[in-house]
Amino acid sequence: MAQTLVALTMPKFGLAMTEGKLASWTVDVGQATKQGDELADIETSKITSGYESPAAGVLRRQVAQAGETLPVGALIGVLADADATEAELDAFITKFQEEQAPQAESDTAEGPSSAPHPVEVAGYTLNVREVGSGEGLPLLLVHGFGGDISNWLLTQDSLAKNRKVIAFDLPGHGASSKNVQDGSLAGLAKVVASLLDALGVSKAHVMGHSLGGGVALTVLRDAPEKVASLTLIAPATIGTHVNADFITGFTEAERNRAVQHELEKLVYNKALIGRKMVDAVVRARRLDGARDALRTIASACFDNDRQRDALLPVLEKTDIPVEVIWGQEDAILSADAAKTLPDKVEVHVLAESGHLPQMEKAADVNKIVEEFLEKSEK
């Protein structure tokens, strides 16, 4: 009978962390562990942290050796029942590495095409990153207020196994044009629809986070023929309330300490907000027009602590598959809004997660979305 095997992968200790060094194993092969026991020490550019066992079992394989530097998500070891056979372990490791290989090969083969590139859309220059290919319909990712394509760092490549996945910076964000016109959801949604046209995509699955969820819902309302399914992560426009202190504080913060204070409101585990992420936000805010763009969008979409747009009726009327993912500890847009969703909407509320579940609970979110997309295409 097949045994329970658990992949031990390079963890992500900070939102900007992309790789880590296995400093040492603290458990020997063959040693039994309990969930939460420390298995290894992982070094990053900022800290050295213990890697805790995700489950009870026996450490059967140390795939990575002390001193190796590996990307987040890479296999470093295998936890299994004591009576799992060597053949089962070999097959498990081979399958895991084969599933990781296609994306690595795709990245190598695609070269520059997987790097962000400018696309001219309806008078805007948008910063766009496209990865993957396959038979599945394309997936478009729409980030939230003050975000950019890096918000999908742990999502985009993972979901590109059999489809193209497109991420881009909204107007006013990242490396895209800073002109946002009136800053309304309708205006941003029109740009999104035009981007799909520019890329030759007639229909796509759309996934939106936070304000991007509101943009995605507006695309569904105004151009329903372009949307095959909808995945909303902590979406705006479902509830009525928004954390106005965050919107103002995040927009106006200038110094690193103030920016870090606002970023920590986004996550359940405050230790995830590291110096690299803070520095990146500070640099982005100093770009000409960036702060004014956020002010315009905030004014158009929020009235102090109230959301101006209410798009729940769009979900009530639609016939396409819809799922909503929310962090239970979201301090920006309360997960309580999920209770108002129609029964036909698939809802996932993730414990110990704040407003960025696609980064705090990346593995869970990616699995949920991948399964949802597969069901949507049957």
Q: pLDDT tens, 73-108?
A: 889 999 998 888 888 888 888 888 777 654 444 444
Same-domain status, 371 and 278: yes
Question: Domain range spanning residue 50?
Answer: 5-110
Do 197 and 98 lie in one domain? The reply is: no
Residue pLDDT, tens place only, 267-313: 999 988 888 889 889 988 888 899 999 999 999 999 999 999 999 99
Last residue in a domain, options 46, 78, 110: 110
CATH, residue 64: 2.40.50.100
Identity of residue 190: K
pLDDT on residue 106: 47
Structure tokens that stand for 246 in this block: 């965050």
Q: Which helix (H) or strand (E) holds 194?
A: helix 185-198
Query: In the chain, what percentage of residues exceed pLDDT 90?
Result: 71
Note the pTM of the prediction, 2 decimals: 0.75
Q: Of 85, 110, 135, which closes a domain?
A: 110
With a CB cutoff of 8 Å and minimum separation 6, the contacts of 126 are 118, 119, 120, 168, 169, 171, 176, 177, 191, 195
What does 25-37 look like in DSSP terms, one character per residue?
ESS-TT-EE-TT-
Strands (E) across 67-113 are located at 69-71, 75-80
Examine the domain organization and report whether 99 and 156 are in the same domain: no
Q: Are residues 87 and 163 both part of a single domain?
A: no
Domain count across the chain: 2
* ∠ Cα 280 363 240 (to 5°): 70
pLDDT digits (tens, 9 = 90+) for 122-137: 899 999 999 999 999 9
Distance CA 242, CA 299 (A): 13
One domain for residues 71 and 169: no
Tell me, yes or no, whether 352 and 229 share the same domain. yes
- Given a cut of 50, whether residue 184 has pLDDT beyond it is yes
241 and 365 both lie in a single domain: yes
Average pLDDT of span 138-151: 96
- Same domain as 305, residue 206: yes
The pLDDT of residue 98 is 74
- Do 81 and 206 lie in a common domain? no
Pairwise CA distance, residues 337 & 214, whole Å? 14
Write the pLDDT tens digit of every residue in 192-219.
999 999 999 999 999 999 999 999 999 9
Residue 111: pLDDT over 70: no
* Whether residue 81 is found in the same domain as residue 160: no
Model pLDDT, residue 115: 85
**How deeply is 355 buried, as exposed, middle or buried, from its count of CB atoms within 10 A (0-12, 13-18, 19+)?**
buried
What pLDDT is stored for residue 289 in this prediction? 94
Give the number of C-alpha atoms closer than 13 A to the C-alpha of residue 345, restricted to the C-beta side.
26
Question: What is the overall mean pLDDT for the chain?
Answer: 91
CA gap 160, 167 in Å, rounded: 11
pLDDT of 1 strictly over 60: no
Nearest-angstrom CA–CA distance, 109 and 98: 16
Residue after which a domain boundary falls, among 76, 110, 144 = 110
Q: How far apart are CA 200 and CA 197, in angstroms?
A: 5
The answer to whether residues 139 and 203 touch, using CB atoms and an 8 Å cutoff, is no
Same domain for 44 and 181, yes or no, is no
pLDDT of res. 101: 58
Question: Both 311 and 185 in a single domain?
Answer: yes
